[in-house]
Amino acid sequence: MQVDTTVNGTTRQDDVEDRLLLVHYLREVCGLRATNVGCDTTSCGACTVLLDGQSVKSCTVLAAQADGREVVTLEGLAGQDGALHPVQAAFRQEHGLQCGFCTPGMVMASVSLLTDHPEPSEQQVREGLEGNFCRCTGYHNIVQAVLAASGQVTR
Ligand code: FES
Ligand code: FES
């Protein structure tokens, strides 16, 4: 089938198999490899992207379901000049990553969280990111990064 999408601000038309998952569409058809596959079973959140501004686990969504809709991946966050998105900058500043495998999904989930809750409490951050797993950091610095990105002093 043909899907018409806008991915990171660029309109596209692609012929895809009906069963193709959005994450594989983004990685293999669009060539956007920042979105990771950690489990393929809707558990880890590594594949999180924005679909019409809301975070979704792209291993749970068919590419066909993105037809007529807007997708943003990690590659779409930085400015034209390469400047980091404020959430990316906060993750760097607060050391919110180690191996980095979970980071694209964490950042996208955080962007969505901050859209819904511009000044979240620590509890709201923890609950908002509970669908995203990190094996490295213990989460503390990730939470601090999201609070910092919201403009709330964390140190
Ligand atoms: S790869 Fe999608 S939730 Fe883990
Ligand atoms: S930084 Fe390694 S899984 Fe999160």
Residue pLDDT, tens place only, 78-118: 888 989 999 999 999 999 999 999 999 999 999 999 999 99
3-state helix, strand, coil split of the chain in percent (to 5) is: 35, 15, 50
Say what the pTM is: 0.96
Atom of ligand 2 nearest to the CA of 97: 1
The pLDDT of residue 14 is above 90: yes
Give the other-Cβ count within 10 Å of 101's Cβ: 17
User: What sign for the dihedral angle of Cα 85, 88, 90, 93?
Assistant: negative
Q: Is 102 in the pocket of ligand 2 (CB under 6 A)?
A: yes
**Burial level of 143, CB count in 10 A (0-12/13-18/19+)?**
buried
Task: Tell me the ligand closest to 38's alpha carbon.
Answer: 1
Instruction: State which amino acid sits at residue 99.
Output: C
